[in-house]
């Protein structure tokens, strides 16, 4: 099943088996559950009777630790009434006297879980890819539309092709570069994009700030009989591809379209909700904060307060990197850490080191229950060598990387902080033990953070195996570095925790430096990469590379594309009071008729730091760019490369001639 649509009192399931399209209709009455004082529930039941299809009292648990209680179950006539009825209840009856359950689940997921309908995708689906650039959308033209990667330079040709693609059955999946592509096509064509019904707006666009980050979610559209996947708002698609999404569908029971736009927290919650429901536990309605997952390499591990063994910022030779595989998730599973198991009511065992918290021995927590199978399946996928297992493994990896931040799960109102503290305490204990064991094996420890250790010594594989067996979590030999350089903080002799580069197994390995950040212009990335490749053999050569790049920037011997800076804006263009470059770029885009909102990205070139316009957008005619701005960027990137090698200021190195300086 790849899509569920709702029409009147029916749910329509779409699936494709052995190439044949199936459409199955089933009667569906969406349900809302309400808990509260008995008299109040009776009153609600009587007062809402005219608006509901059916209602009755049922026994459910409203939290994992609680006994079953009587809750009011209300069935509605039609899915389309669900939201307004829920909001009506919320306005009319006071909280916290009553609590709602299964009220905020996404509609297709809710249907699958409550009706036991598995949305797994069985065979090949027909997919249509539609890409159109933002400037074209701004100009309201389909000129330049890419259809399955084929570009159309005339709008009428593009429309002819679309007409062909949508005639007959048409595609099962619409994979679009952003949601406005659909509305534009809908505007331009005289046929319906859906299978017998037209475009439906599910949610307006909005921007939310959470944890100091701004997240933009574009309008969402549903097309009858087809799954819509918006590439601009699907983190999982970009990380794990379609195969990864398919895996997550069968794991979460979130149908394809909903899994594509889900955040990682959302995906974990879905697994938990379904598991709970099958154990007769309802999930309370909360307003979930959206979140954007960070990449592992940019995550500031120090913020997590785990183990740190700080090296001096310098260069080490012949060093092995050993990593504990998915250490935090493994700690959660092995130690049974979950909000409802930490300091439970029934056990007193002071199991958590340093802190003395107790952990329940009588029940397995929800978090370990959810993560256990994911860890298990991922290590199986890692051992297989197919495209599917690779993509599935990538999807699960992101879940495991992010799960530490997700501890405030659907069934617990509190307890997340204690969980974080407990995990970190176990982490420190494990890392200290591992360090001591490795030292006993004759290793010299150079550096350690959270779940990684760098050390030199002999017989690594054996040592890793010993530690793995002793600790009960696998320590993997990740790299053998010929050399590795830890980059110091600016104006400091202390190393930044996870910024390093080096050569391992014949390849460059980097973490946390400029070339890994998407906002760094390509020219700076290229320069930094070349310098890293040269610096270990010869600092002079690295500096020559820098000089070469500087002179190319000054003499305009570069590709203008390489100067583009890409940044996420944190406000809507009209809300910027200050005029930093990103704000200026955003305002400029808006003036050109391109819709841009907080949380989206701007792409620009720095034209002139001191006179307006200071920036030009990536698709504009570039009359000039600011040499010295880019030269400064190059120098600062070069400094990260040279400082571990004892060069303090690149400026001086350039002026004095590096040979003298060193």
Q: Which is nearer to Zn ion, 252 or 338 (CB)?
A: 338
C-alpha 57: how far from chain center = 40
Q: Is 11 helix (H, G, I), strand (E, B) or coil?
A: strand
What DSSP string describes 484-525?
A: EEEEEPTT-SSEEEEEEEEEETTEEEEESSGGGSTTS-HHHH
Q: Is 179 in contact with 230 (CB distance < 8 Å)?
A: yes
The residue range among 194-202, 203-211, 361-369, 398-406 that interacts with Zn ion, by the rule CB under 5 A, is 361-369
Regarding 359 and contact with Zn ion (CB under 5 A), the answer is no
Residue 283 phi/psi, 5-degree rounding, is -105, 125
The residue range among 61-69, 253-261, 360-368, 647-655 that interacts with Zn ion, by the rule CB under 5 A, is 360-368
Q: Which is nearer to Zn ion, 118 or 279 (CB)?
A: 279
CB of 358 to Zn ion, least distance (A): 7
Q: Which is nearer to Zn ion, 264 or 412 (CB)?
A: 412
The residue within the footprint of Zn ion, chosen from 362, 507, 591, 612 (CB under 5 A), is 362
Helix ranges restricted to H, 49-93: 82-92
Q: Which is nearer to Zn ion, 184 or 359 (CB)?
A: 359
Q: Which is nearer to Zn ion, 355 or 558 (CB)?
A: 355
CB of 330 to Zn ion, least distance (A): 21
Q: Is 592 in contact with 611 (CB distance < 8 Å)?
A: no
What DSSP string describes 142-211?
A: -TT-EETTEE-SSHHHHHHHHHHHHSTT--SEEEESSTHHHHHHHHH-SS-SSSSS-EEEEE--EEEEET
Q: Which is nearer to Zn ion, 346 or 417 (CB)?
A: 346
CB of 375 to Zn ion, least distance (A): 23
CB of 65 to Zn ion, least distance (A): 9
Closest residue to bound Zn ion by CB: 360
Q: Which of 259, 374, 267 is nearest to 326 (CA)?
A: 374
User: Which pair of tokens denotes residue 488?
Assistant: 């110091």
The residue range among 72-80, 89-97, 355-363, 516-524 that interacts with Zn ion, by the rule CB under 5 A, is 355-363
Q: Which is nearer to Zn ion, 349 or 518 (CB)?
A: 349
**x/- string (CB under 5 A) for Zn ion, residues 571-610?**
----------------------------------------
The residue range among 100-108, 192-200, 358-366, 391-399 that interacts with Zn ion, by the rule CB under 5 A, is 358-366
Q: Which of 62, 54, 64 is nearest to 35 (CA)?
A: 62
User: Which pair of tokens denotes residue 559?
Assistant: 């590709």
**x/- string (CB under 5 A) for Zn ion, residues 491-530?**
----------------------------------------
Q: Which is nearer to Zn ion, 359 or 641 (CB)?
A: 359
Q: Which of 142, 259, 227, 135 is nearest to 189 (CA)?
A: 142
The residue range among 202-210, 347-355, 398-406, 608-616 that interacts with Zn ion, by the rule CB under 5 A, is 347-355
What DSSP string describes 526-595?
A: HHHHHHHHHHTT-HHHHHHHHHHHHHHHHTT-S-GGGG-EEEE-SS-GGG--S--HHHHHHHHHHHTT--
The residue range among 54-62, 353-361, 428-436, 608-616 that interacts with Zn ion, by the rule CB under 5 A, is 353-361
Query: Which residues, 6 or more positions from 563, have their beta carbon under 8 angstroms from its beta carbon?
Result: 521, 522, 523, 605, 606, 625, 630
CB of 366 to Zn ion, least distance (A): 14
Strand 565-568 with 507-511, pairing: unpaired
The residue within the footprint of Zn ion, chosen from 360, 407, 553, 637 (CB under 5 A), is 360
Residue 40 phi/psi, 5-degree rounding, is -65, -40
CB of 171 to Zn ion, least distance (A): 52
Query: Which residues, 6 or more positions from 578, have their beta carbon under 8 angstroms from its beta carbon?
Result: none
CB of 282 to Zn ion, least distance (A): 22
The residue within the footprint of Zn ion, chosen from 199, 315, 347, 622 (CB under 5 A), is 347
Helix ranges restricted to H, 351-479: 366-383, 387-402, 416-440, 460-471
Q: Is 336 in contact with 364 (CB distance < 8 Å)?
A: yes
Element (H, E) at 633: helix 627-642
**x/- string (CB under 5 A) for Zn ion, residues 326-345?**
------------------x-
Q: Which is nearer to Zn ion, 299 or 360 (CB)?
A: 360
The residue range among 90-98, 208-216, 359-367, 408-416 that interacts with Zn ion, by the rule CB under 5 A, is 359-367
The residue within the footprint of Zn ion, chosen from 203, 346, 417, 494 (CB under 5 A), is 346
**x/- string (CB under 5 A) for Zn ion, residues 612-651?**
----------------------------------------
Query: What span, in angstroms and rounded, lies between the C-alpha atoms of 623 and 550?
Result: 20
Residues that bind Zn ion (CB under 5 A): 344, 346-347, 360, 362
């Amino acid at each position: 099943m790849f899509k569920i649509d709702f029409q009147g009192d029916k749910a329509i399931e779409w699936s494709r088996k052995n190439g044949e399209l199936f459409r199955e209709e089933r009667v569906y009455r969406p349900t809302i559950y309400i808990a509260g004082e008995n008299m109040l529930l009776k009153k609600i039941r009587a007062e809402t009777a005219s608006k509901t299809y059916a209602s009755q009292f049922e026994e459910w648990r409203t939290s994992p630790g609680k006994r079953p209680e009587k809750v009011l179950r209300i069935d509605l006539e039609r899915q389309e009434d669900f939201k307004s009825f829920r909001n009506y209840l919320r306005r009319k009856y006071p909280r916290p006297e009553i609590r709602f359950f299964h009220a905020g689940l996404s509609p297709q997921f809710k249907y699958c879980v409550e009706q036991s309908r598995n949305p797994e995708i069985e065979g090949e689906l027909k997919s249509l890819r539609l890409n159109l650039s933002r400037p074209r959308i701004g100009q309201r033209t389909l000129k330049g539309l890419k259809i399955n990667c084929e570009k159309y330079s005339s709008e009428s040709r593009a429309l002819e092709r679309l007409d062909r693609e949508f005639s007959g059955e048409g595609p099962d999946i619409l994979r679009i570069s952003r949601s406005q592509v659909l509305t534009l096509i809908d505007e331009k064509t005289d046929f319906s994009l859906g299978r017998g019904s037209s475009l439906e707006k599910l949610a307006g666009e909005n921007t939310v700030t959470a944890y100091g980050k701004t997240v933009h979610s574009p309008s969402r559209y549903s097309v009858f009989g087809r799954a819509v996947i918006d590439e601009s708002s699907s983190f999982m698609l970009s990380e794990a591809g379609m195969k990864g999404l398919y895996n997550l569908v069968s794991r979460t029971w979130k149908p394809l379209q909903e899994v594509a736009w889900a955040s990682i927290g959302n995906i974990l919650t879905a697994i938990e909700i379904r598991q709970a429901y099958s154990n007769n536990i309802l999930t309370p309605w909360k307003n979930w904060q959206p979140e954007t997952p960070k990449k592992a390499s940019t995550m500031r591990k120090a913020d997590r307060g785990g183990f740190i063994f700080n090296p001096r910022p310098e260069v080490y030779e012949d060093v092995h990197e050993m990593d504990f595989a998915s250490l935090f998730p493994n700690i959660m599973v092995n130690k049974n850490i979950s909000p409802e198991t930490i300091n439970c009511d029934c056990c007193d065992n002071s199991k958590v080191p340093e802190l003395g918290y107790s952990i329940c021995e009588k029940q397995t927590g929800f978090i370990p229950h959810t993560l256990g199978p994911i860890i298990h399946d991922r290590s199986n996928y890692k051992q297989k060598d197919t495209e599917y297992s690779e993509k599935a493994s990538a999807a699960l990896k992101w879940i495991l990387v992010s799960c530490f931040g997700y501890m405030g799960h659907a069934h617990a109102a509190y307890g997340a902080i204690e969980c974080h503290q407990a995990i970190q305490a176990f982490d420190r204990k494990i890392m200290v033990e591992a360090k001591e064991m490795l030292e006993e094996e004759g290793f010299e420890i150079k550096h350690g953070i959270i779940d990684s250790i760098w050390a030199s010594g002999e017989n690594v594989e054996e040592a890793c195996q010993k530690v793995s067996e002793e600790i009960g979590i696998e320590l993997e030999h990740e790299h053998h570095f010929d050399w590795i350089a830890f980059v110091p903080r600016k104006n400091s002799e202390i190393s930044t925790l996870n910024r390093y580069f080096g050569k391992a197994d014949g390849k460059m390995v980097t973490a946390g430096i400029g070339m890994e950040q998407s906002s760094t212009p390509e020219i700076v990335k290229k320069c930094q990469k070349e310098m890293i490749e040269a610096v270990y053999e010869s600092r002079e050569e690295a500096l020559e590379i820098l000089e070469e790049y500087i002179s190319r920037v000054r003499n305009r011997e570069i590709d203008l594309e390489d100067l583009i800076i890409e940044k996420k804006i944190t406000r809507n263009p009209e809300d910027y009071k200050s005029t930093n470059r990103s704000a200026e770029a955003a305002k400029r885009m808006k003036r050109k008729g391109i819709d841009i909102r907080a949380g989206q990205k701007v792409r620009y070139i720095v034209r002139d730091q001191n006179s307006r316009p200071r920036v030009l957008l990536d698709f504009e005619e570039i009359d000039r760019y600011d040499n010295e701005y880019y030269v400064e960027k190059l120098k600062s990137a070069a400094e990260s490369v040279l400082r571990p090698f004892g060069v303090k200021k690149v400026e001086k190195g350039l002026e004095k001639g590096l040979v003298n300086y060193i």
